[in-house]
Structure 1
Amino acid sequence: MLSINVSASNKPSSSIIAFKMSALSGVYFKSCDRKYRLKTEHNGAITSWFIEVSYHVQMANILAFESFDGGSHKQFRETVSSYSNHDWTWITRPAHSWKWRMVLSAQEMVEDAMRQGVQKPEAIFCTSLTDVAALRSFLPRGWRDIPVILYMHENQLAYPTNDSRDASFAFTNLQSVLTADLAIFNSKWNLDSFIDGIETLLSKSWDTSVHDIGTAIRNNSTVAWVPVELPPSDVVKSRVLHNTDNEGRSELKNATTIVWPHRWEHDKGPDKFLEIARTYSEKLNLRWIVLGQQFKEVPESLQTFQSEFSDRIEHMGYVESKGEYWNWLQRADWVLSTANHEFFGIAVVEALFAGCLPWLPEKLSYRELLPAAARGLSPDSVIDSEPIRCAIHEHLSMAQ
């Protein structure tokens, strides 16, 4: 239960306003007690407001299904499990063959949970590559009314692809969002692009009786950013000693170091990255750090980049150690994104927390991640960097 007591006096007194409401099982913190003192002035009279907030949430047993346990999905699972006070039991599938995961993972994971003898949970949690409607149908009798929370890491309508994509996957997303008791999108961009895409898709059906689908989706959805861990304290402290001037440029031979921390795939814009490197490397005296997950096939543009700019590359390749990863981020002055899509952007947020300035497009989820003063910047901008870094950290505090 959550109780809030508010009194207007020079010292705490009995409450004159009291509210009580049920706390959602998704609240991460088991208990909290806080007292706040606010001062207001009216007609020259100063009044102190004492606000007491306390709540206690009983730990919930959550059965969670992750059908694609890799990349940002896996990082999200590990972070939530580490910092939540609830008891999480995860059933996962490997991170490959995403189409098969959407079609079969619901049955596979429920059967796996039954084989493991998982006890009846108080809530069920799953993510966006799971068919929630199918998941409910495969649950045992007596489990199908358990609240299901769906976390939408991505949607199948706004994802750029060179191949024609079967619309059935988009409708699977739609059925999942409406079948869940609550759908949580990781950004407003993710939610808005999903609604726009579904409305466009449904408009192609000349006799559909489904109307006002956007309202139905919004009524069952909310937005909550991905939880992102802060860098270790030694990274933050070393950032203070970083050799940059007030315009975000390194004082070491006037070079500026840029980090590109993305998956090495077409949707992250490697062609655009090569174009930017060719345009600005010499003009702005740029040095490069290229991180991110690699796959068997490396985009040709990244191979070309490595060949053309070998004398300007400080590091290029995936880093296994998280500590080493943070150290590379700390060495960069700016974080660059050339992504064609970004539903949230964990790698960019980590770089911003590490002190990098944002060289990001003014689209996708990036507009949400940045305060107005930090949008549209580049190493060619004339700025006072420290106030911008402070504004970014304050803006991103909800993602900590």
Structure 2
Amino acid sequence: MKEVLIIEPFCGGSHGQLIQLLSTDEEIGPKCDKVCLPAKKWQWRARTSSLYLSQVIPYSNTFKVLFASSVLNLAELVALRQDLSGLKKILYFHENQLVYPVRKHQERDFQYGYNQILSSLVADVLVFNSIFNMESFLSSIPSFLKLIPDHRPKNLVSQIRPKCQVLYFPIDMKVACKISKGNSVEGIQSNSINSTVHGIKREQPIVELDFAHETDSEAHLNNLGYGVDDRNTDLSFEIKCNPDDVSYQSSKNSGCQKDISKDMYQEQHVGDDVYHQMFAFQHSSSAPESSSTFDKMFLKWDPRALNDRSLHIVWPHRWEHDKDPDSFFSALFQLQQENLSFNVSVIGETFSAVPEIFKTARLRLGDKVKAWGFQSREDFLAILDAAHVVVSTAIHEFCGVSMLEAVARNCYPLCPYRLVYPEIYPKECLYSTPSQLVKRLKRFCQRPQSVNTSLCKDLIEQFSWDQLREQYRTLILTKT
């Protein structure tokens, strides 16, 4: 009997990694059903997913615990599905929207933060992935509510704080830790829910309704998009992979079949025109002259192209303004002007609106670029293996999973002295100004052998799934 209902309206990235770890755990997995939506159109997921989920979450009198990320408007869901109100409701904050850095001349969307406050009032337990995440959320509530013109609610922090706790994001060290010292990763299977088409991330446009516990191999096949026989339940669904109309057909013992078709590839972060070029590019023997600008700029990882004598810098973040790519590339341009030798791999996740600086940097850095664009999981890990330094310039970060994975594979972290980073990394790894970042990188370029890649090796252990597993089990499997 399933006692735990896991809900993820945006099942990708770190959100997907956490769901994967929980649902495959030998104690949590057999007791949970999970309802997940693909990681696309985050704004719409935050605004509207509760109504849709209220229609597809199964009715069950065995559920005792509900676990969801803060993307979900929990208040709306519980109002729509009052049978869920009596469950122990756990809300996990990968991030909070009260301190999200909006761009200049752009107004903050009040609704996202307001939804998280409402959800916090309805939840029984609030879990944050860092102290910084928790404290920035709580301390921002009073000023955030001042945006309401009148009749403002009061004393909400005193109601919410007692429910809060910090539980670090778990890293699967069997995958994340450095296994080989070469440039290839052998024997590692990707646990990612996503795959790549010429470096641009695509998702499975599938709502996953997991009413039966999967074996590890079955879960892996599911993540790769293959159908898995749903043997352990009488109720199953045929899932039609039409991105515009995901339909469900209840059947008895029919199994869960996924109709993988060309429609599936259209669920990109990129536009339709770019998609058509990508699809043609994928199925041609060579890239056509008319392939998109992004196709031409994408560079797949090839360890043979790496100059082992030069410093290898990796930037593994989302290609969005809150990761401040301008500051990162500005530092590299200064190194380039001084004729310093270095390699760089820029391998973060891409979306439809890519900042212009990426096009400029790709052309300007030329053959110093060794990988460009979203890579396969295996190549991502291989790039980390081959890198000396991993850099963050973020102005919005509550945990930094890709940074932690890079450090687990012996990269030296250089992080700004702000956000969550002082909570995690020693002072030696922090810089306060852009000029300090340039100075550190310049020194490493001159002496790559001086990079102490083992400096942060011990701190990573506190984020390992082996260390955190029992805390997560207690959190989720304790019914009250």
Letter in 1 for 2:441: P
Letter in 1 for 2:91: L
Q: Does residue 166 of the first structure (1) align with residue 109 of the second (2)?
A: yes
Q: Distance between the aligned counterparts of 1:228 and 1:275, measured in 2?
A: 31
Alignment of 1:239-258 (within 5 A): 254-258=309-313
Q: Distance between the aligned counterparts of 1:365 and 1:302, measured in 2?
A: 25
Q: Does residue 128 of the first structure (1) align with residue 70 of the second (2)?
A: yes
Q: Does residue 293 of the first structure (1) align with residue 349 of the second (2)?
A: yes
Q: Distance between the aligned counterparts of 1:389 and 1:189, measured in 2?
A: 20
- Structure 1 or 2, whichever has the larger Rg, is 1
**Which deviates the most, 388-397 or 296-305?**
388-397
Contact 2:46–2:71 (8 Å) recurs in 1: yes
Structure 1 position 74, deviation (Å): 1.6
Larger fraction in helix: 2
Contact 2:131–2:166 (8 Å) recurs in 1: yes
Contact 2:388–2:451 (8 Å) recurs in 1: no
Deviation per CA, 1:54-98: give whole Å up to 9, x if none: xxxxx9721111111222222221122223511221112232333
User: Aligned residue for 2:421?
Assistant: 366
Q: Distance between the aligned counterparts of 2:391 and 2:170, measured in 1?
A: 21
C-alpha change, 1:272 and 1:209, in structure 2 (3 Å) is closer
Q: Distance between the aligned counterparts of 1:160 and 1:352, measured in 2?
A: 26
Structure 1 position 122, deviation (Å): 1.6
TM-score, length of structure 2 as denominator length = 0.62
> What is the count of residue pairs matched by the alignment?
329
Aligned partner (choices 69, 72, 90) of residue 149 of structure 1: 90
Unaligned 5+ runs, structure 2: 184-305, 432-436, 445-449, 470-480
Q: Distance between the aligned counterparts of 2:107 and 2:148, measured in 1?
A: 18
User: Aligned residue for 2:363?
Assistant: 307
Aligned partner (choices 350, 356, 359) of residue 411 of structure 2: 356
Letter in 2 for 1:184: V
Structure 1 position 309, deviation (Å): 0.6
Letter in 2 for 1:323: E
Alignment of 1:1-400 (within 5 A): 61-83=3-25, 85-86=27-28, 87-114=31-58, 118=60, 120-141=62-83, 143-162=84-103, 163-203=106-146, 210-230=153-173, 232=175, 235-238=178-181, 254-281=309-336, 283=338, 284-320=340-376, 322-376=377-431, 378-380=440-442, 385=452, 388-394=455-461, 396-397=463-464
Q: Percent identity?
A: 29
Give the 3-state SS of the residue equivalent to 1:367 in structure 2: helix
Contact 2:96–2:116 (8 Å) recurs in 1: yes
Letter in 1 for 2:89: V
Deviation per CA, 1:344-379: give whole Å up to 9, x if none: 111111001010001111111112221344434833
Q: Distance between the aligned counterparts of 2:451 and 2:383, measured in 1?
A: 23
C-alpha change, 1:135 and 1:205, in structure 2 (3 Å) is closer
Deviation per CA, 1:312-344: give whole Å up to 9, x if none: 111112112x22211111110000111120121
Letter in 1 for 2:402: A
TM-score, length of structure 1 as denominator length = 0.74
Higher relative contact order (CA 8 A, sep 6+): 2
Q: Distance between the aligned counterparts of 1:182 and 1:341, measured in 2?
A: 24
Give the 3-state SS of the residue equivalent to 1:388 in structure 2: coil
Structure 1 position 233, deviation (Å): 8.7
Contact 1:231–1:350 (8 Å) recurs in 2: no
Contact 2:410–2:457 (8 Å) recurs in 1: no
Letter in 1 for 2:375: V
C-alpha change, 1:295 and 1:206, in structure 2 (3 Å) is closer
